[in-house]
Chain A
Amino acid sequence: MQILVNGEPVATDACTLAELCATLGFTQAKVATAVNGCFVASARRGLTPLAPKDEVEIVAPRQGG
């Protein structure tokens, strides 16, 4: 299915957000996630199913003012 990850179209077979993070190599990374504008805690990624056209955000620490 096609979803958006950080604004970019991605084709994935991942059924859950946790699977998506694993396929992208983020399992051990310091990242936070949201799906369709709502925060998803790391503990809930495995319980969060993905559907076509979902918009996923995966963010990490960055410089800020």
Chain B
Amino acid sequence: MFEIYGERFTSRLLLGTAQYPSPATLKEAVEASSAEIVTVSLRRESARMRAGQGFWELIEQLGVRVLPNTAGCHTAKEAVATAEMARELFDTPWVKLEVIANDDTLQPELFGLVEAASILVAQGFQVLPYTTEDLSAAERLASAGCRVLMPWASPIGSARGLINRDGLKTLRAYFPDTTLIIDAGIGAPSQAAEAMELGYDAVLVNTAVAKAGDPVKMAEAFARAIEAGRLGFEAGLIEPRDMASPSTPVAGTPFFKIDRVS
């Protein structure tokens, strides 16, 4: 179990809802993932198409918690207004706060992020900021009242996995009591397992599942990998070492001769 602002969840996989080949595949993938939380967004609604109404009916059928994001916002002002609209629309104090620095890396704009987080916390939001592994930014976000941090593993949709493993390890060690959820850049179940082995509380995946050859099977693969990674962390991993260490007992080795021991 892990906590998001005092609420406890069993599944450590959060699933994004974008880019699936069809609504039916999205529904099946969410079910196969056992995710209890899915991310959603809000976009301009056309009076003619009314695409959002049908999407919302689908999400309601899934019976999962929704975590709205502020994807695409480039300033604190835009992000705050988007979060306010999301709170009314989705009837939740949660917001996955994204303030984006540039379109090539989609990396968080940390200064605007801290500014927006401070404003939203003061308005009663429970903010889950999409951030980097930067400790100073994390400190500022925690001071602003964020009890959950969502650092990237690598750029959104890049599938490159944990490109700064040491930085993420340090962040985990530095914030032992803060809920840390890997947000972006995970491309394979093994990468999600690696994040969990580092002690991260949960992983959010979207593109790697939605764009997989078989999204439903991949959703299940991530669910199992995340469970395995968490079990590995809880069991306690051994420390790596430079040289070999025999696993089979040396004592009693047949044909053993003392002069071969260096």
Contacts and interface: CB of A to CB of B under 8 A. Distances in A.
B40 interface: yes
B45 interface: yes
Max chain B Cβ within 10 angstroms of own Cβ: one of A7, A26, A62: A62
Given A34-B81, A37-B78, A65-B69, A59 B55 contact: no
Given A62-B51, A63-B17, A37 B43 contact: no
Interface of A: 6-7, 24-26, 29-34, 37-39, 41-42, 57-65
Given A61-B90, A64-B17, A64-B71, A30 B41 contact: no
Nearest to B86: A32
Interface string B48-60: 0011110110010
Nearest to A6: B44
A30 B40 contact: no
Contacts of B53: 29-30, 60
Interface in B16-47: 16-20, 26, 39-47
B156 interface: yes
B34 to A, nearest CB: 19
Contacts of B42: 32, 59-62, 64
B130 to A, nearest CB: 10
Chain B: interface size category: 35 or more
B81 A37 contact: yes
A32 B90 CA distance: 10
Interface string B119-158: 0000000000000000000000000000000000000110
B41 to A, nearest CB: 3
B49 to A, nearest CB: 10
B199 interface: no
Contacts of A58: 44-45
A32 B41 contact: no
B3 interface: no
A39 B84 CA distance: 6
Contacts of B191: none
Given A37-B81, A65-B41, A65-B207, 14 more contacts: A30-B56, A31-B89, A32-B88, A59-B44, A60-B50, A61-B42, A61-B52, A61-B56, A61-B90, A62-B40, A63-B16, A63-B20, A63-B26, A64-B68
Contacts of B206: 65
Nearest to A61: B56
A27 B50 CA distance: 13
Contact of B40 (A25, A39, A41, A63): A63
B134 to A, nearest CB: 21
B81 A60 contact: no
Contact of B81 (A7, A29, A38, A62): A38
B50 A29 contact: yes
Interface string B75-99: 0011001001110111000000000
